[in-house]
């Protein structure tokens, strides 16, 4: 090796290695070196190119960003139209599409289908000549797009040089591939089509960064991707977490491609990321089943998808089917129910919660969103409104997904007419006029008038009487508000001092109703300790934590006397719960309430040994999510515990089962990623059922135990046989 060729060879070798690492990382999702080792290679390459600028070439991995800011984007005419897709909204639409396909190709046509998630980003076309990336364009109107080559070069998952096939890749990586990879050669020219997008996590992080820098934040990952790709300065684009997925080819030469599946595999060998959830089927029933699975698993994707695309695999059949307007007959998009809608923000009102947190809420012009009419949506906090510049009167995007309550994403700025009013957050509590406080580092404003503010009190009483707490049936928001305004209730313990006379002025309260309500209040005194702990409304203490506390202390006095250290070591609890509990009982007003509850005869002890029906679920850990058809969450938890199981709040590798009901969200998605078995209500009941045949069951287990009713689980005592 002569000294003159040595750097050139080293540079070539480094580029080759870096490309291969990119391929392993972005395409195979299987990196073989650490980030540090990769960075070292890049550093070495940069240093060599710095020393020998004449060896620097535009396709070097160091040259992703370089072009000066553009004044405008040149127009690019697509050599072949970039099509759009027809939509299907239910299975009937899918079958109808399939019928149309069969009608053209003949009922006995041999069909294969490729099914891929429909990524919600923006379509681009990348042109490669002799293996090098030469041009990138947006879709535009499908005929003419914009030249964003310099910006696309900065997207790490867009290869600058096509990868020549090494023999490390085989069709076996695509388990259900029946199409061998025929093409090992590089194309002389090739247009690759795909989607530029942003992962949800990257989008959230980007928005945080933009908000911190006082810059406008994007409404959703798609807008963020589009905005980032259309930056005039490529260095700005380079700083955005954009990614690229390939899903099709445009015109190509020097290679033979016969089907969509073959194309996806070929694109992969060339170094393009393709969707790992793409599948090929030969049976339409399997297509339907795969799609049905995605309708509930949508939240497990790391990017936003707005549906599933189904394509006829064979290119010959595609050509025969042709295109109507912009929509090919050979493909269809099965759309997920929309999670976003646009409507008018009529007003912003603030609510005071039971811990004094003041939250802004949007009053909306009613709008239909994934099957329900939405009238109100969360605006989270003051910063959220200012960062997004949300104004009253704005057209706003509202989102509803998984188990989260609907929230406002942001305004549609280009639909403003000038009459929109910026919002000023109140400085005083709307209920008691106390100046609001904001703890440093927290987003929330609070009313510090704890224990006295009537709004907090109403919320606390509502919480105290709710199903998961003391379960006092018959006390609605209206009645509670009235008792509070009339001064009859100053804390939750005052409920137990209510008398029949106090109801006399209440509309709709006849003698029967009054006596039922007083009975319900009386009966609630016997609730188990954990329900009382829930009822106190301590921050971060929900039913799972309350159960752990009741089991550990067995007595409210002991819990009140406990220190931080003693609480935080209890399994499933942590420092923030412990701090919150200690804090709660430091307030004299809270200790007074407990004393009053005790004096009224409310049960303050027990808890630990619950009625145990069987050991059927011994050693099994469950997480509950979504709404079950019959059982409340508390009842389901109670059922699991009464058969020896444990209920926790978050899904981890240690979780044995996730019980999911309607509108289950991220917990369900997480369970799916971790391959944790998912049960519906019926499956849970089945699992908990003792092994013996019902008739053999010892009579004791079907005789309700004395404590059953007190625990509000009478209806669950398990006569399912």
- The catalytic residue positions are 118
Among 331, 332, 469, 573, binds ligand IVH (CB under 6 A): 331
Residue 224 interacting with ligand IVH (CB under 6 A): no
Q: In terms of CB distance, is 119 or 594 closer to ligand IVH?
A: 119
CB atoms within 10 A of CB 526: 17
> 3-state secondary structure string, 620-669?
CEEEEECECCCCCHHHHHHHHHHCCCEEECCCCCCCCEEEECECCCHHHH
- The alpha-carbon radius of gyration of the chain (Å, integer) is 31
Among 11, 45, 242, 248, binds ligand IVH (CB under 6 A): 248
Task: Name the minimum Å distance from CB 258 to ligand IVH.
Answer: 17
Task: Name the minimum Å distance from CB 477 to ligand IVH.
Answer: 45
Phi-psi region for residue 632, left (φ > 0), alpha (ψ -120 to 50) or beta?
beta
Task: Name the minimum Å distance from CB 29 to ligand IVH.
Answer: 18
Task: Name the minimum Å distance from CB 172 to ligand IVH.
Answer: 23
Among 27, 76, 83, 594, binds ligand IVH (CB under 6 A): 83
> Inter-axis angle of helices 681-688 and 633-642, to 10 degrees?
20
Q: In terms of CB distance, is 278 or 529 closer to ligand IVH?
A: 278
Q: Which residues, in sequence order, are bridge partners of residue 129? A: 132, 189
Q: What are phi and psi of 240, to 5 degrees?
A: -100, 140
Segment 333 to 392, residues that bind ligand IVH, using CB under 6 A: 333
Choices 82-90, 154-162, 513-521, 706-714; region in contact with ligand IVH by CB under 6 A: 82-90
Residue 247 interacting with ligand IVH (CB under 6 A): yes
Residue 85 interacting with ligand IVH (CB under 6 A): yes
Task: Name the minimum Å distance from CB 225 to ligand IVH.
Answer: 11
At 69, list the tokens.
């800011």
Task: Name the minimum Å distance from CB 274 to ligand IVH.
Answer: 9
- Residues near 277 by Cβ (< 8 Å), separated by ≥ 6? 116, 117, 301
Task: Name the minimum Å distance from CB 182 to ligand IVH.
Answer: 22
Among 21, 64, 98, 139, binds ligand IVH (CB under 6 A): 139
Between strands 621-625 and 646-648, the pairing is parallel
Task: Name the minimum Å distance from CB 83 to ligand IVH.
Answer: 4
Q: In terms of CB distance, is 84 or 579 closer to ligand IVH?
A: 84
> Inter-axis angle of helices 454-465 and 529-536, to 10 degrees?
160
Helix (H) or strand (E) holding 415: none
Alpha carbons 338 and 397: distance in angstroms, whole number: 12
Range list of H helices, 215-359 = 221-229, 234-238, 260-270, 284-297, 315-321
Residue 287 interacting with ligand IVH (CB under 6 A): no
Among 25, 78, 116, 556, binds ligand IVH (CB under 6 A): 116
Between strands 189-197 and 243-253, the pairing is antiparallel
Closest residue to ligand IVH, judged by C-beta, is 123
At 11, list the tokens.
């540079």
Among 17, 57, 63, 84, binds ligand IVH (CB under 6 A): 84
Q: In terms of CB distance, is 83 or 562 closer to ligand IVH?
A: 83
- Residues near 94 by Cβ (< 8 Å), separated by ≥ 6? 88, 287, 288, 291, 310, 332, 334
Residue 225 interacting with ligand IVH (CB under 6 A): no
The residue to which tokens 């009382």 are assigned: 532
CA atoms within 13 A on the CB side of 509: 20
Among 267, 309, 532, 559, binds ligand IVH (CB under 6 A): 309
CB atoms within 10 A of CB 123: 20
Q: In terms of CB distance, is 247 or 272 closer to ligand IVH?
A: 247
Range list of H helices, 498-600 = 511-523, 529-536, 543-553, 556-561, 564-568, 575-586, 588-599
Residue 195 interacting with ligand IVH (CB under 6 A): yes
Among 61, 145, 328, 356, binds ligand IVH (CB under 6 A): 328
Choices 15-23, 58-66, 115-123, 690-698; region in contact with ligand IVH by CB under 6 A: 115-123
Choices 280-288, 327-335, 341-349, 705-713; region in contact with ligand IVH by CB under 6 A: 327-335
Q: In terms of CB distance, is 249 or 545 closer to ligand IVH?
A: 249
Residue of 254, 306, 310, 333 whose CA lies nearest to 115 = 310
Residue 463 interacting with ligand IVH (CB under 6 A): no
Task: Name the minimum Å distance from CB 644 to ligand IVH.
Answer: 47
Q: In terms of CB distance, is 117 or 661 closer to ligand IVH?
A: 117
Among 19, 78, 118, 240, binds ligand IVH (CB under 6 A): 118
Count of positions on this chain that bind ligand IVH (CB under 6 A): 15
Choices 81-89, 425-433, 516-524, 604-612; region in contact with ligand IVH by CB under 6 A: 81-89
Q: In terms of CB distance, is 328 or 607 closer to ligand IVH?
A: 328
Task: Name the minimum Å distance from CB 246 to ligand IVH.
Answer: 9
Alpha carbons 238 and 234: distance in angstroms, whole number: 6
Q: In terms of CB distance, is 309 or 628 closer to ligand IVH?
A: 309
Residue 267 interacting with ligand IVH (CB under 6 A): no
Q: In terms of CB distance, is 93 or 566 closer to ligand IVH?
A: 93
DSSP string of 448-503, one letter each residue: --TTT-HHHHHHHHHHHHSTTTT--TT--HHHHHHHHHTTS-SSGGGGGG--GGGG
Which residues lie near ligand IVH (CB under 6 A)?
A: 83-85, 116, 118-119, 123, 139, 195, 247-248, 309, 328, 331, 333
């Amino acid at each position: 090796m002569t000294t003159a060729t040595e750097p050139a060879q080293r540079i070539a070798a480094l580029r080759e290695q870096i490309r291969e690492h990119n391929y392993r990382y972005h395409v195979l999702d299987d990196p073989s070196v650490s980030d540090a080792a990769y960075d070292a290679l890049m550093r070495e390459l940069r240093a060599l190119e710095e020393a020998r600028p004449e060896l620097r070439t535009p396709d070097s991995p160091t040259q992703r960003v370089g072009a000066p800011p553009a004044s405008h984007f040149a127009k690019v005419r697509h050599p072949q139209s970039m099509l759009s897709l027809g939509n299907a909204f239910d299975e009937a639409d899918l079958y109808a599409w399939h019928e149309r396909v069969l009608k053209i190709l003949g009922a006995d046509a041999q069909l294969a289908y490729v099914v891929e998630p429909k990524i919600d980003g923006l379509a681009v076309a990348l042109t490669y000549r002799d293996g090098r990336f030469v041009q990138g364009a947006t879709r535009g109107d499908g005929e003419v797009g914009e030249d964003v080559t310099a910006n696309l070069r900065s997207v790490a998952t867009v290869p600058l040089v096509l990868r020549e096939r090494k023999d490390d890749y085989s069709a076996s990586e695509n388990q259900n591939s029946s199409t061998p990879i025929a093409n090992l050669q590089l194309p002389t020219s090739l247009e690759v089509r795909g989607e530029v997008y942003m992962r949800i996590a990257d989008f959230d992080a980007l928005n945080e960064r933009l908000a911190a820098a006082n810059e406008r934040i994007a409404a959703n990952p798609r807008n963020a991707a589009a905005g980032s790709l259309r930056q005039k300065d490529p260095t700005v684009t380079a700083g955005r977490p954009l990614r690229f997925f390939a899903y099709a080819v445009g015109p190509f030469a020097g290679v033979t491609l016969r089907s969509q599946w073959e194309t996806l595999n070929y694109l992969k060998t060339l170094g393009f990321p393709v969707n790992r959830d793409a599948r090929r089927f030969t049976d339409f029933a399997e297509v339907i089943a795969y799609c049905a699975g995605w309708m509930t698993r949508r939240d497990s994707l790391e990017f936003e998808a707005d549906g599933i695309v189904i394509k006829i695999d064979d290119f010959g059949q595609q050509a025969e089917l042709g295109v109507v307007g912009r929509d090919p007959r050979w493909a269809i998009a099965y759309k997920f129910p929309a999670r976003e809608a646009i409507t008018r923000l009529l007003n912003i009102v603030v609510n005071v919660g039971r811990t004094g947190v003041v939250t802004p809420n949007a009053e909306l012009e009613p709008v239909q969103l994934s099957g329900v009419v939405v009238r109100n949506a969360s605006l989270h906090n003051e910063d959220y409104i200012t960062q997004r510049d949300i104004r009253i009167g704005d057209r706003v995007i509202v989102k509803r997904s998984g188990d989260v309550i609907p929230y406002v994403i942001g305004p549609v700025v280009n639909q403003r007419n000038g009459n929109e009013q910026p919002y000023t957050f109140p400085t005083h509590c709307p209920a008691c006029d106390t100046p609001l406080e904001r703890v440093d580092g927290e987003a929330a404003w609070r009313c510090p008038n704890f224990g006295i503010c009537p709004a907090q009190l109403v919320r606390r009483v509502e919480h105290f009487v709710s199903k998961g707490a003391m379960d006092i049936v018959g006390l609605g928001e209206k009645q509670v508000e009235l008792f509070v305004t009339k001064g009859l209730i100053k804390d939750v313990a005052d409920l137990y001092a209510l008398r029949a006379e106090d109801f006399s002025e209440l509309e709709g309260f006849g003698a029967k109703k009054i006596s039922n309500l007083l009975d319900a209040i009386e009966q609630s005194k016997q609730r188990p300790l954990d329900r009382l702990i829930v009822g106190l409304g301590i921050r971060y203490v929900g039913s799972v934590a309350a159960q752990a506390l009741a089991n550990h202390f067995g007595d409210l006095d002991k819990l009140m006397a406990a220190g931080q250290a003693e609480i935080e070591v209890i399994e499933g609890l942590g420092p923030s719960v412990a701090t919150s509990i200690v804090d709660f009982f430091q307030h004299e007003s809270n200790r007074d309430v407990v004393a009053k509850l005790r004096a009224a005869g409310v049960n303050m002890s027990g808890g630990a040994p619950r009625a145990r029906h069987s050991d059927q679920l011994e050693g099994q850990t469950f997480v509950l999510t979504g709404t079950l058809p019959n059982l409340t969450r508390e009842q389901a938890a109670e059922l699991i515990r009464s058969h020896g199981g444990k209920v926790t709040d978050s899904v981890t590798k240690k979780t044995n089962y996730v019980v999911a009901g309607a509108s289950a969200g991220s917990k369900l998605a997480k369970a799916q990623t971790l391959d944790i078995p998912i049960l519906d209500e019926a499956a849970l009941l089945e699992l908990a059922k003792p092994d013996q045949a019902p008739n053999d069951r010892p009579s004791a287990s079907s005789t309700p135990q004395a404590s059953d009713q007190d625990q509000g689980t009478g209806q669950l005592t398990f006569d399912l046989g």
